[in-house]
Amino acid sequence: METAVVLVWLSIVLIVHACGVTHGDDGRNSHVQHALALKQRTAMQDVVVILSRSHADRNVYPSAGVLFVHVLEREHFKGEFPPYPKAGDSSNDPITFNTNLMGYPDRPGWLRYIQRTSHSDGVLYGSPTAEHVGKATVIEITAYNRRTFETARHNLVINIMSTEEFPLPYQAEFFIKNLNVEEMLASEVLGDFLGAVKNVWQPERLNAINITSALDRGGRVPLPINNLKEGVYVMVGADVQFSSCLREVESPHNQLRCSQEMEPVISCDKKFRAQFSIDWCKINLVDVTKVVTIRSNRPDPGPGVLPDMGEYNPPSEALKSRDYFADFLITLAVPMAVAMVLFTILGYSMCCRREGVDKRNMQTPDVQLMHHSSIQKSTKELRSMSKNREISWPLSTLPVFSQSGEVVPPLHPDNYETTSMPLMQTQTNLQNQIQIPQQQLSGKWYS
C-alpha cells in the first residue's frame, strides 16, 4: 500500500514537471514554473519523510539458554526526526526508548531493558528459556525525541531457537563489583571476561547465560563518590567440571574468611584483578546434572503477562445514589448538640449560681465579721508602720571618704560591745545609732 502511494506521488510530480517544461517558454509563465518547482520540491520531501518513517519488522534469532543482547542505537533513529536548524546540533538530541510486548504494557519476564541517560544507547538483554522456543515475541520499540516531542516506532521480532548444546551442565555465577550492567553488556568487555574465565576453567564450550544487575538482586544504589559501581552478576556455562581454582572458594579456610567478611585467598584471582574485581565470597557453582527438582503444589509461573479478560465492563448507570444526610447527623450534629448542652450546664453553674459577697455577709454572724474586720485593720496598721520605721544603715553603704578627702570615722568605736546590743532596739537607741558625724569647717570631728 505504501509503495503504491509513493508511485502515485512520483507520477504526479513527473506530470507537473512535464507541464512546467512544455509551457515554460512564455516569459509570463515563469512565476508559475517557479511555484511548480517549489511544489515539486515539497512533494519530494514528503516522499522522503514517508519512506524514512516506514519500517519493516526486524527479526533476530537468539538461542534458548544463551544471553541475548540487542542495542538500540540512537544513530539509527536520528534520521526519523527533522534536523535541527543549526548544522551539527542534531546529534545532541535527547532520545529515550520505550519497549513493550505488542498488545501489553510491559516486556516479557525474561527480557530487561536499561538506558542510563537520554544521550546514551538503550540495551535489551535477557536469557530466554526452553519454554519460549518456537514462540515469536514481538517487541514494540518507541523512540521519543525530547527536543521535538516526536516519536518513531518499529517492531523487533524475537524468534527463539532451540539448540542441543544448551543448557550447559556446569554453571558458575560471578559477582563483579567494579562494573555496571550496561558496561558489562558491551561486546568487548564481555569478551574479555569470558576469555579470562576460559583461561581458568579450560572448557571446550563456554558461553554467557545471563547477566543481572545487583539492583535487581536487592542491592543498594552506591553513593556518588569515588566512581562507585552498583555491581553485576554474570552467569557462564561450560561443558566440563569446575576447575580447582574455582573450587578453592569452597575450602574451610576460605569459608571462614568469608564469614568474617575477609577476602578469601584464590590462586587465579590475579588473572581477573587487572580488569575485573570479583567478590569470590558470592560465587555460585551449580551442577545442573545433580540438581534435584523439588515439585510443589504451587502452579508454574506464567510468562509474566496477564491473560486476556475481555473488555472492561463498567457498572451500570442505574445504581441508586446513597443519601449521606443521616450519616452527617450522626457524626457531626449529635456530638455538637451534646457539647452545647454540657456548655450550657457549665455556664449556668459558674455564672448563675454564685452567692456573692453580700449574701455571704448576711449569713455570717456579727461576731465573726467584727473579728475579721479587726484583723484586717491590725494588718493594715502593721504594714503602714513597717514602711515608716527607721533602721540602721549597713556599714557597707556608708561612705569611706568624704567630699574633702578625709576619712570618715567608723560609726561604732573599737571598744563598742556589739554583743550587748539587744535584739529589739528602742526608739532612743535607734535614733542614736543612725546619727552620722558631721564635719566642721575647721576640720575637727564632733558628735
| DSSP letter assigned to residue 145 | E
Q: Is the pLDDT of residue 2 over 70?
A: no
Task: Give the three cell numbers for residue 199.
Answer: 583461561
Asked if the 58-159 domain carries CATH number 3.50.50.60, the reply is no
Q: Among residues of the chain, what percentage have pLDDT more than 70?
A: 68
Mean pLDDT of 382-398: 71
Burial string for 309-341 (b: 16+ CB within 10 Å, else e) reads eeeeeeeeeeeeeeeeeeeeeeeeeeeeeeeee
DSSP string computed for 46-110? HHHHHHHH--PPEEE--BTTS-EEEEE-HHHHHTTSPPPSSTT-GGG--EEEEEEETTSSS--TT
**φ, ψ (nearest 5 deg) of residue 441:** -65, -30
Could you give the CA distance from residue 214 to residue 217 in angstroms, rounded to a whole number?
5
Could you give the CA distance from residue 91 to residue 75 in angstroms, rounded to a whole number?
8
- Tell me, rounded to whole angstroms, the distance of Cα 360 from its chain centroid: 72
**φ, ψ (nearest 5 deg) of residue 252:** -60, -35
Using CB atoms within 10 Å of the CB of residue 140, give its burial: 0 to 12 exposed, 13 to 18 middle, 19+ buried: middle
Could you give the CA distance from residue 435 to residue 447 in angstroms, rounded to a whole number?
8
Could you give the CA distance from residue 417 to residue 330 in angstroms, rounded to a whole number?
88
Mean pLDDT of 81-103: 77
Q: Is the pLDDT of residue 97 over 70?
A: yes
> What is the pTM (predicted TM-score) of this model?
0.53
Residue 118 vs residues 121, 124, 182, 213: alpha-carbon distances, Å: 8, 15, 14, 20
Mean pLDDT of 172-196: 90
Collapsing DSSP to helix, strand or coil, 174 comes out as strand
What average pLDDT is seen over the chain? Answer: 75
Mean pLDDT of 397-422: 52
Could you give the CA distance from residue 292 to residue 207 in angstroms, rounded to a whole number?
24
- Tell me, rounded to whole angstroms, the distance of Cα 50 from its chain centroid: 42
Q: Is the pLDDT of residue 140 over 90?
A: yes
Candidate ranges 44-58, 95-109, 386-400; pick with highest mean pLDDT = 95-109
Q: How confident is the model at residue 256 (pLDDT cuts 50, 70, 90)?
A: very high
Q: How confident is the model at residue 400 (pLDDT cuts 50, 70, 90)?
A: low
| CA–CA–CA angle 80, 82, 84 (5° rounding) | 130
Mean pLDDT of 343-372: 83
What pLDDT, on the 0 to 100 scale, is given for residue 232? Answer: 92
Q: At what angle do helices 30-53 and 2-22 cross, to 10 degrees?
A: 170
Q: Among residues of the chain, what percentage have pLDDT more than 90?
A: 17
What pLDDT, on the 0 to 100 scale, is given for residue 87? Answer: 60
Domain boundaries, the chain: 2-53, 58-159, 170-290
Percent composition of the chain: helix, strand, coil (DSSP 3-state, to 5): 40, 15, 45
Which residue would you say has higher pLDDT here, 17 or 200?
200
Do the bridges between strand 206-213 and strand 284-287 make them parallel or antiparallel, or are there none, so unpaired? unpaired
Collapsing DSSP to helix, strand or coil, 180 comes out as coil
Q: Could you tell me which residues come within 8 angstroms of residue 122 by beta carbon, excluding any fewer than 6 positions away?
A: 71, 72, 96, 97, 99, 113, 114, 115
Using CB atoms within 10 Å of the CB of residue 278, give its burial: 0 to 12 exposed, 13 to 18 middle, 19+ buried: buried
DSSP string computed for 269-328? THHHHTT--B-GGG-EEEEGGGPPPPP-SSPPP--S------S--PPPTTPPPPP-HHHH
What pLDDT, on the 0 to 100 scale, is given for residue 385? Answer: 85
Asked if 181 contacts 190 with a C-beta cutoff of 8 angstroms, the reply is no
Least confident of 17-26, 115-124, 300-309: 17-26
Which residue would you say has higher pLDDT here, 400 or 35?
400
User: Which pLDDT tens digit goes with each residue over 325-348?
Assistant: 888 888 998 899 999 999 999 998
Mean pLDDT of 151-165: 85
Which residue would you say has higher pLDDT here, 62 or 166?
62
Q: How confident is the model at residue 91 (pLDDT cuts 50, 70, 90)?
A: low
